[in-house]
Amino acid sequence: MSVKRKRNLSATIALLPTWFAAVVVFIGTMAWSIRLSFTNSTLFPSSTYVGFAQYSKLFASAKWLASLQNVLIFGVLYVAGCLVLGFLLAAALDRKIRFESALRTIFLYPYAMSFVVTGLIWQWMLNPTLGIQASVRSLGWESFVLDWVVNRDMAIYALVLAGVWQGAGLVMVIALAGIRGIEAEQWKAARIDGIPVWRIYVSIILPQLGPALAAAGMLLAMGVIKTYDIVVAMTNGGPGNATEVPAKFIMDNLFGRQNLGLATAGATVLVLGVVIAVAPFRYAMHMRNQAKGGAR
Amino acid sequence: MKTMMKLFLAGVAFAGLCAPVQAEDKPTIEIMSSWTSGGEAAALNVIKTEFEKRGGVWKDSSIAGFGAADAAFQNRIVAGDAPGAKQGVIGLAAADFVSQGLFNPIDDVAATGKWADALPKSIHDLISYDGKVYLAPTGAHGESWVFYSKEAFSKAGIAQEPKSWDEFFTDLDKLKAAGIIPVAWGGQPWQQTKVFNMILLSQVGTDGFLKIYADKDKSEASVEGVKKTLAILGKLRGYVDAGAAGRNWNDATAMLITDKAGVQFMGDWAKGEFTVAGQEPGKDYGCMIAPESKGMVYIADALWFPKTGNAETDKAQKLLAEVVMDPTIQVEFALKKGSVPMRSDVDKSKLDACAQKGLELMSAGAIVPDQAIVLTPQQVGALDDFVDEYWSGGSNDAGAAAENFFAIFE
């Protein structure tokens, strides 16, 4: 008994800094931001409360609404694109090919680059007067058009393209590790049964990769919420509002527009959005675990 | 643990001893600016050279991009680690900092230098808050300029500067026909807003312009002016190249320097780029005030002096303010930057043809302030959004768009 208590005490003391960080640094700053969103703060925090005025201003702003829509389009396509392409790359590399490690390095390399670099490179490539369009036209195909970054309707997909190019390598590595972890006997058994290779991947390998791909998807999804640098580097939110994202909206209002109240309101909405998106998922997991526990 | 603590304390004490020793040598100042293009850097260097000549130590913290520099500056202020000086515009942007008591007044420098006599009254009013001078103005910029490549104009057979917007568009057609990109368009919101403003001034005149921006007037004349402005702005869309979106202003200027494009709408800081490229006004490129405009939009730059709590830096700030307002420095700086000196008592003979034109308008009082001077940063942002949305949205319904314009002031 006394030994147990002693261990608990030392564990508690050891965890104190963690608790301090969790309560003061994370929850404290979050509460501080939420408080600011109910004030009329501009450049510096003020304590004049204005109720939900900042929120109504926020949702009256076409820019904010556009940014929510954009991050949704970008998020879904980016995560799905990375998962699909990453898995395909992993499956391809798994076929005992030559130069596997060299190819692995090449495919993973984009992920090591900062989003700013990725954004700039793709901006140059897709810029109609400098990049691919200009080079193809100079070869003689005068009517060739590839103007995604400057086209209002296509700019968001240009971002997705650059994002997938960067993120697919990460999924590939995680999926490849998962595939390598699958026992060779399953392969042998499937071969003996004469099942085609693609079918093995779809019906046997893929289901077993669930947890690995879920982890990769979660990593990518977290990146989506804070998407900022790639947008700034590639399009700066333009043309018009076509590629505006919430994180950029918040940063712009925080600094350039000296509008702390509106920026924190935006940040609060973003956090709420994540909570709303994650809560049902967590709840389902919780219920499933309980059901499992009950059955046992 | 105890030894660690002792070590730490000793370290703190040591650091405390070192800092003043180092600072005692010379007045040191850290300058934060967004002046990074060729012409801007050359102009900043004029101040730096003189400041160092007078015994100061200069630490440069330049950050490309006005917004980026502002954000970094605000971070430093909030963190309690303000730089010694910050380049910024004269206007409402500085007001919040001053009212929070974050800036050092430079009243005594202004008094000994007789700034009140040397500066136009409106500028002196703008750099003073509650009767005390806080900002040291570096130069004023005209923003109603249309620069053009002489070679492009002669290739397209344009003999003289267009006087009206109709003539202007005829000339743009000629440029297009000659296979030249008619307008080197800077595709960032702040640049587009400047074009909007220069057209607006040409449509409503100086009084109408002030009515709209200073008095937030919504009368029929104002609405009509905004509508006509948007119609002209919308027409310009047909004359820009495909790569215009997001283009930097100096990249657009480079298109004129290489004679790839005909005209550029920009503030006179563009002259700095021409100068760095070895081009001369009147010979290689021309400058004209926007067609039909009887005045000029202006903006003024200044140095801000945050409180750092360091006596040596305070000394350096005063020295810097002195240098910036030195008559010869004002002229030299203006030549490099493309601006117009703030002091009215400087030697004007050295200024180029464009600056003289600008100075003429300025002394005649035919100038209106840029939005950054009269609007809050929030309103400036809303104005940028408005113009950008109209420009990139491709809508030609100027009437409907004009209605949205006045929502900026709410």
Nearest to A257 among B96, B187, B378 (CB): B378
Determine the pLDDT at residue A146: 84
Cβ proximity of B323 and B234 under 8 Å: no
Cβ proximity of B252 and B184 under 8 Å: yes
CB contact under 8 A, A150 and B246: yes
Structure tokens at A77: 């396509």
CB contact under 8 A, A252 and B378: no
B132-133/B367-369 β-pairing? unpaired
d(CA B396, CA B381): 22
Mutation target to probe the A interface, by most A beta carbons within 10 A, among B191, B390, B392 is: B392
Please determine, for residue B183, whether its predicted confidence score (pLDDT) is greater than 90.
Answer: yes
Question: Tens digits of per-residue pLDDT, B128-163?
Answer: 998 899 999 998 899 999 999 999 999 999 988 999
H or E segment to which residue B169 belongs: helix B165-177
Full-model pTM? 0.82
Nearest residue in A to B377, CA atom? A257
Q: How far is A236 from chain B, CA to nearest CA, in Å?
A: 7
Chain A residues in contact with B377 by the CB 8 A cut-off are 42-43, 256-259
CB contact under 8 A, A259 and B392: no
Determine the pLDDT at residue B21: 46
- Mean pLDDT estimate for chain A: 87
CB contact under 8 A, A251 and B393: no
Determine the pLDDT at residue B1: 44
Q: How far is A128 from chain B, CA to nearest CA, in Å?
A: 6
Question: Tens digits of per-residue pLDDT, B97-110?
Answer: 898 889 999 999 99
CB contact under 8 A, A238 and B246: yes
Report percent pLDDT > 90 for chain A: 32
CA torsion, ordered B374, B377, B378, B379, to nearest 10 deg: 30
Cβ proximity of B295 and B170 under 8 Å: no
Q: How far is A145 from chain B, CA to nearest CA, in Å?
A: 10
CB contact under 8 A, A152 and B392: yes
Question: Tens digits of per-residue pLDDT, B35-89?
Answer: 988 888 999 999 999 999 998 899 998 888 887 888 889 889 888 889 999 999 8
d(CA B152, CA B261): 7
> pLDDT category, B13, cuts 50, 70, 90?
low
> In which residue are the tokens 């393209």 written?
A161
DSSP structure class, residue A134 = H
> pLDDT category, B230, cuts 50, 70, 90?
very high
d(CA A288, CA A214): 17
Q: Where are the beta strands (DSSP E) in B284-370?
A: 285-289, 296-304, 367-369
Determine the pLDDT at residue B7: 54
Determine the pLDDT at residue A276: 86
More confident residue, A210 or B4: A210
- Mean pLDDT estimate for chain B: 87
Determine the pLDDT at residue B33: 92
In the stretch 133-162 of chain A, residues with CB closer than 8 A to chain B read 133, 147, 149-150, 152
Nearest residue in B to A241, CA atom? B389
Please determine, for residue B26, whether its predicted confidence score (pLDDT) is greater than 60.
Answer: yes
CA torsion, ordered B179, A127, A239, B72, to nearest 10 deg: -120
CB contact under 8 A, A259 and B381: yes
Angle formed at CA B102 by CA B97 and CA B107, multiple of 5 degrees: 95
Question: Tens digits of per-residue pLDDT, B339-388?
Answer: 888 887 888 788 888 888 888 888 788 889 898 888 888 899 999 999 99
Determine the pLDDT at residue B36: 87
CB contact under 8 A, A239 and B71: no
> For chain A, how big is the Rg over CA atoms in Å?
24
Q: How far is B385 from chain A, CA to nearest CA, in Å?
A: 8
CB contact under 8 A, B245 and A150: yes
> Span A3-17, mean pLDDT?
79
Is A273's Cβ below 8 Å from some Cβ in B? Answer: no
CB contact under 8 A, B70 and A256: yes
Question: Tens digits of per-residue pLDDT, A268-282?
Answer: 999 888 888 888 878
Task: Give the number of beta-carbon pairs within 8 Å between A and B.
Answer: 84
Q: Respond yes or no on whether the N-terminal peptide bond of residue B341 is cis (omega within 30° of 0).
A: no
H or E segment to which residue B142 belongs: strand B136-142
Please determine, for residue B397, whether its predicted confidence score (pLDDT) is greater than 60.
Answer: yes
Question: Tens digits of per-residue pLDDT, A201-259?
Answer: 888 888 888 888 988 998 898 889 888 999 998 888 878 888 999 999 999 898 888 88
H or E segment to which residue B61 belongs: strand B57-62
> pLDDT category, B8, cuts 50, 70, 90?
low
CB contact under 8 A, B71 and A251: yes
Q: How far is A42 from chain B, CA to nearest CA, in Å?
A: 9
Distance (Å) of CA A57 to CA A64, B166, B217: 10, 40, 22
Task: Point out which residues pair with B265 in neighbouring strands.
Answer: B146
Is A128's Cβ below 8 Å from some Cβ in B? Answer: yes
DSSP structure class, residue A204 = I
Cβ proximity of A260 and A250 under 8 Å: no
CB contact under 8 A, B377 and A258: yes
Q: How far is A264 from chain B, CA to nearest CA, in Å?
A: 15
